[in-house]
Amino acid sequence: MHPARHALTQPDKPALIMAETGETLSFAELDARSNRAAQLYRARGCRRGDVVALFLENHLRYLELAWGAQRAGLFFVCVSSKLTPAEVDYILTDSGARLLITQASLARTAAALTVAGIDRLVLDGDVPGFEDAEAALALMPPEPIEDESAGVDMLYSSGTTGRPKGIKVALPDPPEIDAPNTLMLLAQGLYGMNADSIYLCPAPLYHAAPLRWTMTAQRLGGTAVVMAHFDPEAALAAIQRYKVTHGQFVPTHFVRMLKLPEAVRRGYDTSSLKVAFHAAAPCPVPVKQAMLDWWGPVIHEYYAGSEGNGMTAIGPVDWLAHPGSVGRAVHGIAHICDEDGNVLPPRETGMVYFESPTSFEYHNDPEKTAQTRNRHGWSTLGDVGWMDEDGFLYLTDRASFMIISGGVNIYPQEIENHLVTHPSVGDVAVIGGPHDEMGEEVIAVIEPAPGVAPGLELAEELTRFCRAALSGVKTPRRFDFVDELPRHPTGKLYKRLLRDRYWGKTETRIV
């Protein structure tokens, strides 16, 4: 199925509603606008297999631009609106994007981009060096391009080295734009999503899960309600106002909603919810139990990655019997393996691999791609865990010490590489420490350079130094100082030892 098909059978039905303003896009309008976008991409020389980039916040026009790329056989790169100009430049260059569309609210970053050889268009206003996107789209015909074929997203996710990596899968085969995909089948089978569904997206569309689930809801003929920015009470208001039936959340959303005053929480009607599924980070057992107590047995969980190589899922009944589990495999076959690729027995901890019918690669990085495979050809996201005798998976660690703060993946190496260039820093380790609301917070453990005094003044200086070059989510929220970091004579940092001190696994204290 495809929104174009629903435009024929239910043209006036809302395909998209912006939650805060009530702005609406019907299926007929989405079809016509996505056709104009596809026509624009072709007019600018983009052919099947080429790349376009969307550097946008959640916006009424986001989905039409994505669907335009999808029906033009393109890879569409959705760039985080929180990145710095240098970070956006890197993604545009690495992906080989031929065209970029942004919006005036991101003008400061967009105007500072230096990448050359790319068409630049802007919505909602002016940015020096950018064309008017609305005017360009208005000149395009609203009919389908002659050579329609299915495209797919190519999203960037930070790697263990800190550099973003493009997650690339093959263009769909068969290439028909309305061929069913795995996520659509899972949405129907696991969560009962259909044309009557009203789906709430409370998160940025440049992330994999919000983008893909929102597009899946529209594939099925349902209405997607998109929040411009997450706010706990606004989310409850949207559920009540639009009678939301399905939604995808991260644990931080649950935490923030649970911290609302009881009278506020109980003041909203959430009885329309049939399924609220969450992912992106492990959900603390007490938080999930509190959500089940509040919303009832509608809380579901899944484990997957942008790579799309596998997925586990668990419903409320199974979770109550297996608290803490992320479920059993529903796409691919899950295995727990040791370092040599041998399958481990139940309850033994090892790397989580998926034996999968789908494959992926990291764009321009064959070495990193190869590192995700074991001798069987199975692939891993780098997570460590174990399975019980019934095949329920439990995640216990992140092999690369990735930090997950508020559902956002943050890799320490890029932050470390920047901080170590400061003249007052002798050595640095960046880790994730526990945080009641965000799940984890970014902590920089600093070994000051000789003669440099640790303390608040240095912490404030380093904060300013990070903010000048890194995204806000990557700027450490806390700086701690030590006389010497725990390194092996070979230079290897014992980051596990350091991290364990913050998570209460040793009595050693960092001051």
Mean pLDDT of 389-409: 82
Note the pLDDT of residue 510: 32
Judge whether residue 204 has pLDDT over 50: yes
Q: How confident is the model at residue 503 (pLDDT cuts 50, 70, 90)?
A: confident
Judge whether residue 491 has pLDDT over 60: no
For residue 392, which amino acid is it? Answer: F
If one compares 8 and 287, the residue with the highest pLDDT of the two is 8
Q: Look at the alpha carbons of 477, 480, 486, 489 in this order and tell me if their dihedral is positive or negative.
A: positive
Q: Tens digit of pLDDT for each residue in 137-164? A: 999 999 999 999 999 999 997 543 457 7
* Closest to 188 (Cα-Cα) out of 222, 230, 239, 225: 222
Note the pLDDT of residue 397: 58
Mean pLDDT of 174-189: 92
Q: How confident is the model at residue 39 (pLDDT cuts 50, 70, 90)?
A: very high
pTM of the entire structure? 0.82
Note the pLDDT of residue 160: 34
Which residues lie closer than 8 Å to 42 by C-beta, 6 or more apart?
72, 145
If one compares 384 and 226, the residue with the highest pLDDT of the two is 226
Note the pLDDT of residue 486: 85
Note the pLDDT of residue 255: 83
- Which alpha helices (DSSP H) does 245-297 contain, by range? 251-258, 262-266, 285-295
Which residues lie closer than 8 Å to 241 by C-beta, 6 or more apart?
19
Mean pLDDT of 203-229: 96
Q: How confident is the model at residue 506 (pLDDT cuts 50, 70, 90)?
A: very low
The encoded tokens of residue 145 equal 């391009």
Percent of the chain with pLDDT over 70: 95
What is the rounded average pLDDT for all residues in the chain? 91
Note the pLDDT of residue 399: 63
Note the pLDDT of residue 196: 97
Q: How confident is the model at residue 495 (pLDDT cuts 50, 70, 90)?
A: confident
**DSSP string covering 393-461:** EEEEEETT--EEETTEEE-HHHHHHHHTTSTTEEEEEEEEEEETTTEEEEEEEEEEPTTPPPSHHHHHH
Per the CB < 8 A criterion, the answer to whether 49 and 171 are in contact is yes
| Burial (CB count <10 Å: 0-12, 13-18, 19+), residue 60 | middle
Of the candidate ranges 105-109, 273-277, 316-320, 493-497, the one whose mean pLDDT is the lowest: 493-497
Judge whether residue 212 has pLDDT over 80: yes
Cα angle, residue 213 at apex, residues 211 and 216 outer, rounded to 5°: 110
Mean pLDDT of 64-92: 95
* Closest to 444 (Cα-Cα) out of 452, 489, 159, 460: 460
Q: Which domains does the chain have, with CATH numbers?
A: 27-177 (3.40.50.980), 180-306 (3.40.50.980), 307-400 (2.30.38.10), 403-502 (3.30.300.30)
Q: How far apart are CA 405 and CA 432, in angstroms?
A: 8
Place of tokens 């990145």: 83
Q: How far apart are CA 470 and CA 362, in angstroms?
A: 23
Cis peptide before 174 (omega within 30 of 0): yes
Q: How confident is the model at residue 421 (pLDDT cuts 50, 70, 90)?
A: confident
Mean pLDDT of 415-442: 89
Percent of the chain with pLDDT over 90: 75
Number of H-type helices and E-type strands within the chain = 17, 27
Judge whether residue 322 has pLDDT over 70: yes
Note the pLDDT of residue 509: 31
